[in-house]
Structures are given as structure tokens and as C-alpha cells.
């Protein structure tokens, strides 16, 4: 892959989209570190005794904040459907695969610095039509994910207030709050919120695990279950969604001061989320039993659920903000690429940013009310979008970078087989997942919370 990287990184090729405006003193986007630690010497002391001042404007925290949010809340119910052994194997297996595909994303970005998102990368693979198709799919996926955060916000508010207001109103409040926090144009500024989001979901999950472990009547947990095809595939889709941060990886790497530091942030992120996913799913299913709810915070007692949801508001809101920011930046870069307008501090530039984020949150609000079942909404996102953005496109990226070298040695042959498998896996997840999700939505439509309803969804 290294030889192909050198060949692709031609100085005459288009460069990073954020570079132009920096030369004329505009907004500097490329300022994040993979893990920002600044050393400042203390007067009279040696370097060994220097203070370490840690600022959380770093890529690793931002990746964790974006991805470790709603996905982890659906994993215990997935474990209940799949059983302990298959559930653990799938969580670890998908974690390993997405670590590899995340690394391929980073290599593709280094080879083609002009790539800022999946649409840019798809243009390199398929030409102009690929850019348009995957560009629209990418924005739709971001908006669906934003809708899932608004839906979760309404579940949280119904839980905290005992359905103190119409669910539609709670969705409006969540959308407005998220919109206000998305007004900054730089990921570095948004990343300051990342530590709040990460601590929020970690604390909420820990409280839930401890409370369920204390209160649970030692229910039966099955090592192996025998789910139907629809239920088993739907449960697997929840796990796929939990590892679906790849759409944002190009954007994160684009705003790193040194893009070659991206693999370090990826390893920290993947180690953190896989560990948390595995422990959370195992512990909550073990003590909540087969009837564990989704989101998992609802499986604790009423008081504990309220406490956990109150703490989790950080990740419910901030992770949605990060997702919207990355999605809006895709549109923003597309509109102003190659000009200084993207970096200007003018009314036109900032007004465009505000308008983009406003429209995205309005559409997300509509989706949250149209598909009001938490798992169904997450499964639809995983099947339609995450299958390709987390597996299929990465397999094609590797095949593009290594064209003509697929069989030059045994290692290349093995990697070729792996990446062809990733493309086939994406086709399977997309096709089977949409069928399973569509069937589930049709069944739930007869008994579950209705679309655009004021009724409680907690």
C-alpha cells in the first residue's frame, strides 16, 4: 500500500479543502491534535517535573463522543436476542473489522488529501455519479442519526417528567437545543464538548449496571438462544450501528494538524468503544435478563432510570451535535470548496452555515416523529447506510489503492480476499437488514407508539 500512497500523493493533485483560506488569515480549521497534551515548564524545576496541561481538543475524544452514544444503549437487548456467546463473538468480531476499515479510511485520506467525506472518496472510485449518490446517502444517514438523538431526547424527557408534556414538544426542545450547540463552524470548538459527552454516557451506563446488579432477582441469562431470522438480524444491526462512526473519519482527519496522527486516535477510540460495548452488554443482560429494554437505561428501576437519563443528557445532545456538524460541513465544503468563502468571517459564510444546520435539524425532527420506535430507527440506519460506510466502501478503497497488486504475495492475496469479503458483507447487511427492519416496522406499527403522537414513548 505504501508505494501506491507515494504515487497518489502527487503535488499537482488537489489538496486539502481547508488549506486555501488559511493562507489569507481566515478561520483555521486544521488545528486538532490526536490527543492534545501541552507541556509547560515550571520555573526552577527540570523538565521531569513540568506540568502537563491537557486540553480535550483532540480527535480521539471527539471520535468517542460521536460514536459511543445511542449504540451502546441498544446492545444489551441485542445480547438478549443473540445469547451471551454469539453476542460476544459478534461484538468483538465487528470491532476488529471496523478497526481495520477505519485504518483503510486513514490510508485513503493520506493518498488523496482532497477527500473530506465519503462523497469525495466515492468520486475517486466511481466518478461524478458516485459522488452524487453517496453524497446524498451520507447526508441522509447523518440526518437519520440526528433524528435518533432527538427521539432519545424525547424518551429521556418523558422518563424524567413522567410524561409531563406532549412528546412532539419534547422533540422540538431537543432539536432546538442541538441546533444552538451546532452553530460553531470548527470541530476544535465542538470537541471541547466531547469530554462531557464521553463522561456522560460512561457514568449513566455505570449507574445502570450497578443498580441492575443490585436490584435484579438473578434472572436467567442464556449462553445461546435460537432467535428468528428477523430478530437475529435486527439484533446484529444494532451492533453494526454501534461501530458506525466511519462516515465522520475523513472529516476528523481533515481537521487534524497532522493527518498522519489519525491511526493513533483510531486505536484509542476502538479500544475504548469495544471494551465498553462488551462489558455493558454482558453485565446488563446478565442481571436484567431476557426482558431487558432498549434503550438499556429503561431496564433499571424508575428512580435509577431517571438519574441515568438525567446524566446521559450530555451524550444524547452532544453526540447529535457532532454528527450534525460533520454532516453540515460536508454540504458547506461542497458549496465553497476552492474559494476563500469557507474561511471567511462574513455574514454570507456564517449565514450559510446556520441555514444548513437549521434545515438538517428540522428534517431530523420530522424523522424522529415519523419513526418513533428506537430500535427500528437505529436498524434502518444501520442497514441502509452503515453497511456501506463502515464496510463496503472501505473494501473498495483498499482495492483502489492496491490495483494491480492483488496477488503479488500471500499477504496481498489474504488482504484481497478480506476486502472482497467486506464488499459482500455490506451487500448482505444492506439487503437482509432492510428486509428485517421493514418487517419489524410493519409489525410494530400495529402495537407500538404511533407516528406524530403526543403519547409517551418511555
Residues 155-168 pLDDT 10s: 899 999 999 999 99
Close Cβ partners of 184 (under 8 Å, ≥ 6 residues apart): 190, 325
| Total Cβ atoms within 10 A of residue 264 | 15
Alpha helix positions (H), 127-193: 128-161, 167-181, 187-191
- Angle among Cα 57, 141, 271 to the nearest 5 degrees reads 45
How far is residue 283 from each of residues 35, 76, 201, 207, measured CA to CA in Å?
Answer: 30, 8, 16, 12
Residue 19: predicted pLDDT:
64
Residue 452: predicted pLDDT:
84
SS3 15: coil
Grid cell digits, residue 33: 491534535
pLDDT tens for each residue of the chain, 458 residues long: 545 444 444 445 566 776 655 555 566 677 677 765 444 444 444 434 333 333 344 677 778 877 777 678 889 999 999 999 999 999 999 999 999 999 999 999 999 999 999 999 999 999 999 999 999 999 999 999 999 899 989 989 999 999 999 999 999 999 999 999 999 888 777 767 777 888 898 999 999 999 998 887 677 889 999 998 888 988 998 899 889 889 889 988 988 888 889 999 999 999 999 999 999 999 999 998 888 888 888 888 889 999 999 999 999 999 899 899 999 999 999 998 877 777 788 899 999 999 999 999 999 999 988 877 767 777 888 899 999 999 999 999 999 999 999 999 999 999 999 999 999 999 999 999 999 888 877 776 666 567 788 988 87
State the Cα–Cα distance between residues 297 and 266, nearest whole angstrom.
27
State the Cα–Cα distance between residues 207 and 75, nearest whole angstrom.
16
414 cis-preceded (ω within 30 degrees of 0): no
| Total Cβ atoms within 10 A of residue 16 | 18
**For residue 107, which of 320, 218, 263 has the smallest C-alpha distance?**
263
| Angle, helix 229-242 to helix 262-288, in steps of 10 degrees | 140
| Total Cβ atoms within 10 A of residue 291 | 9
What the chain holds in terms of domains, given with CATH numbers, is 2-444 (1.20.1740.10)
Residue 30: predicted pLDDT:
73
State the Cα–Cα distance between residues 56 and 249, nearest whole angstrom.
18
Close Cβ partners of 136 (under 8 Å, ≥ 6 residues apart): none
- Angle among Cα 83, 88, 94 to the nearest 5 degrees reads 125
Residues of the chain with pLDDT > 90, as a percent, come to 52
Task: To the nearest 10°, report the CA torsion of 10, 11, 17, 22.
Answer: 160
Residue 7: predicted pLDDT:
44
Residue 437: predicted pLDDT:
84
Close Cβ partners of 393 (under 8 Å, ≥ 6 residues apart): 118, 121, 122, 125, 134, 426
Amino acid at each position: 500500500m505504501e508505494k501506491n500512497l507515494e504515487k497518489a500523493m502527487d503535488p499537482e493533485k488537489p489538496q486539502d479543502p481547508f488549506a486555501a483560506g488559511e493562507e489569507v488569515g481566515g478561520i483555521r480549521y486544521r488545528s486538532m491534535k490526536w490527543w492534545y497534551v501541552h507541556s509547560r515548564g515550571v520555573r526552577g524545576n527540570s523538565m521531569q517535573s513540568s506540568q502537563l496541561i491537557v486540553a480535550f481538543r483532540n480527535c480521539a475524544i471527539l471520535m468517542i463522543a460521536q460514536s459511543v452514544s445511542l449504540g451502546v444503549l441498544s446492545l444489551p437487548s441485542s445480547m438478549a436476542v443473540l445469547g451471551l456467546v454469539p453476542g460476544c463473538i459478534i461484538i468483538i468480531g465487528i470491532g476488529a473489522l471496523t478497526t481495520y476499515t477505519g485504518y483503510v479510511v486513514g490510508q485513503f485520506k493520506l493518498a488523496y488529501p482532497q477527500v473530506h467525506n465519503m462523497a469525495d472518496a466515492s468520486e475517486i472510485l466511481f466518478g461524478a455519479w458516485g459522488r452524487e449518490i453517496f453524497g446524498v446517502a451520507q447526508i441522509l444517514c447523518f440526518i437519520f442519526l440526528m433524528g435518533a438523538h432527538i427521539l432519545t431526547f424525547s424518551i429521556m424527557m418523558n422518563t424524567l417528567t413522567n410524561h409531563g408534556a406532549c412528546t412532539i414538544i419534547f422533540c422540538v426542545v431537543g432539536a432546538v437545543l442541538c441546533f444552538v450547540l451546532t452553530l460553531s463552524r470548527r470541530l476544535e470548538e465542538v470537541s471541547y464538548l466531547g469530554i462531557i459527552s464521553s463522561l456522560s454516557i460512561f457514568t449513566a451506563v455505570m449507574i445502570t449496571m450497578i443498580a441492575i446488579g443490585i436490584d435484579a432477582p438473578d434472572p436467567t441469562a442464556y449462553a445461546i438462544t435460537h432467535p428468528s431470522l428477523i430478530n437475529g438480524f435486527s439484533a446484529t444491526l444494532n451492533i453494526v450501528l454501534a461501530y458506525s462512526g466511519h462516515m465522520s473519519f475523513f472529516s476528523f482527519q481533515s481537521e487534524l494538524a497532522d493527518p498522519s496522527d489519525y491511526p493513533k486516535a483510531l486505536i484509542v477510540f476502538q479500544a475504548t468503544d469495544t471494551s465498553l460495548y462488551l462489558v455493558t452488554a454482558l453485565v446488563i443482560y446478565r442481571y436484567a435478563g431476557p426482558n431487558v429494554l432498549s434503550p438499556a437505561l429503561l431496564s433499571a428501576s424508575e428512580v435509577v432510570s431517571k438519574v441515568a437519563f438525567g446524566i446521559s443528557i450530555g451524550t444524547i445532545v452532544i453526540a447529535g451535535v457532532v454528527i450534525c456538524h460533520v454532516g453540515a460541513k460536508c454540504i458547506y465544503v461542497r458549496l465553497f470548496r476552492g474559494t476563500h468563502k469557507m474561511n471567511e468571517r462574513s455574514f454570507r459564510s456564517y449565514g450559510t452555515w446556520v441555514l444548513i444546520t437549521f434545515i438538517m435539524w428540522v428534517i431530523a425532527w420530522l424523522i424522529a416523529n415519523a419513526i418513533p420506535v428506537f430500535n427500528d430507527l437505529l436498524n434502518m440506519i444501520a442497514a441502509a447506510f452503515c453497511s456501506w460506510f463502515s464496510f463496503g466502501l472501505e473494501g473498495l478503497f483498499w482495492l483502489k489503492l492496491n490495483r494491480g497488486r492483488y496477488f503479488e504475495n500471500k499477504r496481498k492475496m489474504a488482504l484481497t480476499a478480506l476486502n472482497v469479503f467486506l464488499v459482500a458483507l455490506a451487500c448482505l447487511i444492506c439487503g437482509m437488514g432492510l428486509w428485517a427492519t421493514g418487517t419489524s416496522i410493519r409489525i410494530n406499527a400495529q402495537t407500538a407508539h404511533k407516528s406524530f403522537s403526543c403519547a409517551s414513548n418511555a
